[in-house]
Amino acid sequence: MKKSVFTIVTLLTLFACKDHSKVTSDTISKSTAKTENETKYPSDVIPFMYEWKILLGDGTHEENLVNYEGKDFFYVEKEKETNWVVYKTPNSGITSRTSSNTRTELGQKKHWIPEVGGKLKGTLKVQHVSTSGDARVAASYSVVVGQIHSDEGHENEPIKIFYKKFPGHTKGSVFWNYEINTAGDDNSGRWDYSTAVWGDDMSVVGSSATTFPEEPEDGIALGEEFSYEINVYKGIMYLTFTSEGHETIKFTKNLLQSDFSKKTDIPQQIWTLYASIGRDGVERENGYAGEINYFKQGAYNQTNGKKPEDNLVWYTGSETYGGDIPKQYANGCYAEVWFKNATVGEGTAPNL
């Protein structure tokens, strides 16, 4: 009798273990399949999204970016084993009150003054810039992938990081612009001083609307990764640019004391590039000191449909198909930038 009871208990135990094993295996399999099929949001890839709001290329504003995506503008793309956050925007859509250019771009919720500072980092690749534009215009074929924007006064920009590639070229240029914080109440004389990182600066343009300059030998190709760090610490902006196979480049810029407060300080680049539109303003002596700023990151498309004859620096004459976004996407009239990681936080003492 004892043996019989023992045998029954043993058999029941074995069957129970077998059934439990089957249920566990099925459950894991279903759970894995469910996880693989679940939507990946940008906030799953770059967790700092709660620190930001966004403006999309169709004019959509969104304040809560956790588990949010904007179809055709802001979403996740998986390439091999890497998830990327995609920022895509047409040449013409609906944009902010201070710009003629469309954007799918994050805006930092937290604001700060240069004396307090902050740090923004990103690793990205530009997948596309508009193939329509005027080669004489400095802004043609370019996109801004990170910037600091002022939120008071003239609302100018201490830095904009650009990627630009002419049609037919394999390699494009990465450069950064410093916009003067114009002295006085009139901001019409403002200008950007452009500094090359890899390739050319913004002032290298074509000799005619369809004639391009030489391709930069040390440029960055579409789809080629690079990283930047904007670190503002105690009023000084420290910039670091890195890319595999390229020299690491660093810059330092004082945001509290102007380099351009007198007419004699204006660089030759500005006299040449801005001559046609007559911008020759000077900056207030203390630059951006005490002024509220915030970071922006994404794809700020620099191409637009305005007439180049009216402004050979910023009006690119690009095709816009009357603002029809699907047509612009289908015909190369857009900018697309992929980020695989990014961070934002406090400014830190530089490692010089």
Range of the domain at 243: 42-345
pLDDT mean across residues, the chain? 91
pLDDT tens-digit map of 146-176: 999 999 999 999 999 999 999 999 999 999 9
pLDDT band at 38 (very low <50, low <70, confident <90, very high): confident
DSSP notation for 23-84: HHHHHHHHHHHHHHHSPPPHHHHSGGGGGEEEE-TBS-EES--TT--BTTTEEEEEETTEEE
Structural domain contains residue 73: yes
Q: How do 226-233 and 236-242 pair as beta strands?
A: antiparallel
pLDDT at 209: 98
Please determine, for residue 22, whether its predicted confidence score (pLDDT) is greater than 90.
Answer: no
As a whole number, mean pLDDT of residues 169-192 equals 98
Please determine, for residue 3, whether its predicted confidence score (pLDDT) is greater than 90.
Answer: no
- In contact, 156 and 181? CB cutoff 8 Å: yes
SS3 readout for 121-164: EEEEEEEECCCCCCCCCCCCCEEEEEEEEECCCCCCCCEEEEEE
Token reading at 192? 């950007």
pLDDT at 352: 72
pLDDT band at 30 (very low <50, low <70, confident <90, very high): very low
Please determine, for residue 207, whether its predicted confidence score (pLDDT) is greater than 70.
Answer: yes
pLDDT at 99: 80
Distance of CA 51 to the CA centre of its chain: 16
Please determine, for residue 85, whether its predicted confidence score (pLDDT) is greater than 90.
Answer: yes
Residues 201, 274 within the same domain: yes
Residues 33, 77 within the same domain: no
Q: Name, in order, each residue with C-beta under 8 angstroms of 105's C-beta and a sequence gap of 6 or more.
A: 54, 55, 87, 89, 296, 297, 298, 299, 300
Please determine, for residue 343, whether its predicted confidence score (pLDDT) is greater than 50.
Answer: yes
pLDDT at 17: 37
pLDDT tens-digit map of 113-146: 999 999 999 999 999 999 999 999 999 999 999 9
pLDDT at 92: 96
Structural domain contains residue 350: no
Structural domain contains residue 352: no
CATH number of the domain within which 311 lies: 2.60.120.200
Residues 171, 316 within the same domain: yes
Nearest to 97 by CA among 141, 151, 135: 151
Residues 139, 248 within the same domain: yes
Query: What is the Cα–Cα distance from 323 to 325, expressed in whole angstroms?
Result: 6
Angle at 298 between CA 113 and CA 144, to 5 degrees: 80
As a whole number, mean pLDDT of residues 42-63 equals 97
What is the chain's length? 352
Could you tell me which residues are beta bridge partners of residue 82?
79
Residues 145, 191 within the same domain: yes
Residues 5, 126 within the same domain: no
pLDDT at 117: 98
Residues 156, 29 within the same domain: no
As a whole number, mean pLDDT of residues 234-249 equals 98
Nearest to 250 by CA among 236, 260, 268: 236
As a whole number, mean pLDDT of residues 226-245 equals 98
Residue type for 166, please?
Answer: F
As a whole number, mean pLDDT of residues 239-256 equals 98
Structural domain contains residue 228: yes
Distance of CA 68 to the CA centre of its chain: 18
Residues 34, 57 within the same domain: no
Residues 47, 120 within the same domain: yes
Q: Name, in order, each residue with C-beta under 8 angstroms of 33's C-beta and a sequence gap of 6 or more.
A: none
pLDDT at 37: 58
As a whole number, mean pLDDT of residues 272-297 equals 97
Residues 28, 151 within the same domain: no
pLDDT at 100: 81
pLDDT tens-digit map of 298-325: 999 999 999 999 999 999 999 999 999 9
Query: What is the Cα–Cα distance from 43 to 180, expressed in whole angstroms?
Result: 34
pLDDT band at 97 (very low <50, low <70, confident <90, very high): confident
Q: How many structural domains does the chain have?
A: 2
Residues 144, 13 within the same domain: no
- In contact, 215 and 171? CB cutoff 8 Å: yes
Residues 25, 120 within the same domain: no
User: pTM value?
Assistant: 0.90
Please determine, for residue 27, whether its predicted confidence score (pLDDT) is greater than 60.
Answer: no
pLDDT band at 20 (very low <50, low <70, confident <90, very high): very low
